[in-house]
């Protein structure tokens, strides 16, 4: 009997009504993600990356097709699917510790268990010295680490990341990419990560899924068969970057009349 994947997306489409118009944001998406995989979605704006992520998160239902976790239909948000946004989404009135512990506390976990969980993930993301700081006292990179820790503390099995490093400067972005990979390797989480950056996708992912617009759909998927840690300057890395770049740009080339 075949192993049930952690995530199965089959024939998923999404159409929005805009007045009397109907906008097809996503068409016929098929995607299988295995437990422990790190998968990146790349593509231009308007190709349905964030729409697909929101459907998997349970924030909105598909218009057609099915999205399943462990073979069961996704019918709404749940702690086993944690979302990390570009704008962090932290509660400004809570400290780092309180933000991380919010989910377990809200689900009625015993106080001692919440405290132990918070301390574990505060240390995991390297924020021990800032555990009692407020979000406005943190750098962008620190805020994103808190957002990741908050998802992990909530018992997420799959982490959904919508361009989480897009607003950060280049040095902070590179450091957080390394830290995310370290967390992923230590926890063996499953990650579905949206990015515009081909380099970021190749650096992070086991598999890169290329999406194209008009309407949004999955065009191709590519296994990244490079050992970690990956060298962005290596000939092998750059050969993959050129290949994916060609595939992305071919989707935007003008069509013949």
Q: Who has greater pLDDT, 164 or 235?
A: 235
Q: In this predicted structure, what is the pLDDT of residue 124?
A: 83
Measured CA to CA, the distance from residue 144 to residue 29 in angstroms comes to 29
Q: For 69-90, how does the pLDDT look when each residue is reduced to its tens digit (9 = 90+)?
A: 999 999 999 988 999 887 778 8
Residues 227-238 have a mean pLDDT of 94
Q: For 77-132, how does the pLDDT look when each residue is reduced to its tens digit (9 = 90+)?
A: 998 899 988 777 889 999 999 999 998 888 888 899 999 999 988 988 888 999 99
| DSSP string covering 106-161 | HTT--HHHHHHHHHHHHHHTT-GGGTT--GGGS-HHHHHHHHHHHHHHTT-SEEEE
Is this structure's pTM higher than 0.85? Answer: yes
Q: In this predicted structure, what is the pLDDT of residue 60?
A: 93
Helix (H/G/I), strand (E/B), else coil: 63: coil
Q: In this predicted structure, what is the pLDDT of residue 251?
A: 58
Q: For 34-50, how does the pLDDT look when each residue is reduced to its tens digit (9 = 90+)?
A: 999 999 999 988 888 99
Q: Domain limits of the chain?
A: 90-156
Q: For 151-181, how does the pLDDT look when each residue is reduced to its tens digit (9 = 90+)?
A: 888 888 999 999 888 878 888 889 889 888 9
Q: In this predicted structure, what is the pLDDT of residue 108?
A: 87
E strand or H helix at 57: helix 49-57
State how beta strands 190-195 and 158-162 pair: parallel
Q: In this predicted structure, what is the pLDDT of residue 86?
A: 76
Measured CA to CA, the distance from residue 248 to residue 229 in angstroms comes to 25
Q: Residue 250: is its pLDDT beyond 80?
A: no
Q: Residue 205: is its pLDDT beyond 80?
A: yes
């Amino acid at each position: 009997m075949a192993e049930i994947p952690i995530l199965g997306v089959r024939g998923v489409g999404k159409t929005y009504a805009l007045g009397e118009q109907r906008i097809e944001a996503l068409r016929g998406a098929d995607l299988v993600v295995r437990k422990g995989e790190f998968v990146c979605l790349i593509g231009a704006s308007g190709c349905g990356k964030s729409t697909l992520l929101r459907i998997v998160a349970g924030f909105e239902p598909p218009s057609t097709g099915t999205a399943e976790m462990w073979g069961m239909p996704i019918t709404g948000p749940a702690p086993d699917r944690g979302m990390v946004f570009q704008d962090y989404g932290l509660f400004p009135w809570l400290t780092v510790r309180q933000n991380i512990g919010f989910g377990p506390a809200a689900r009625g976990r015993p106080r001692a268990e919440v405290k132990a969980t918070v301390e574990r993930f505060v240390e995991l993301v390297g924020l021990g010295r800032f555990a009692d700081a407020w979000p406005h006292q943190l750098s962008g990179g620190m805020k994103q680490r808190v957002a990741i820790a908050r998802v992990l503390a909530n018992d997420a099995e799959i982490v959904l990341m919508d361009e989480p490093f897009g607003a950060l400067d280049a040095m902070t972005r590179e450091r957080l990419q390394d830290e995310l990979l370290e967390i992923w390797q230590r926890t063996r989480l499953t990650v579905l990560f949206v990015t515009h950056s081909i380099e970021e996708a190749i650096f992070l992912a086991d598999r890169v899924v290329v999406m194209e617009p008009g309407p949004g759909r999955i065009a191709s998927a590519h296994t990244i068969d490079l050992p970690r840690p990956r060298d962005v300057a290596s000939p092998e890395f750059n050969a993959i970057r050129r290949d994916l770049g060609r595939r992305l740009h071919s989707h935007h080339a003008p069509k013949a009349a």
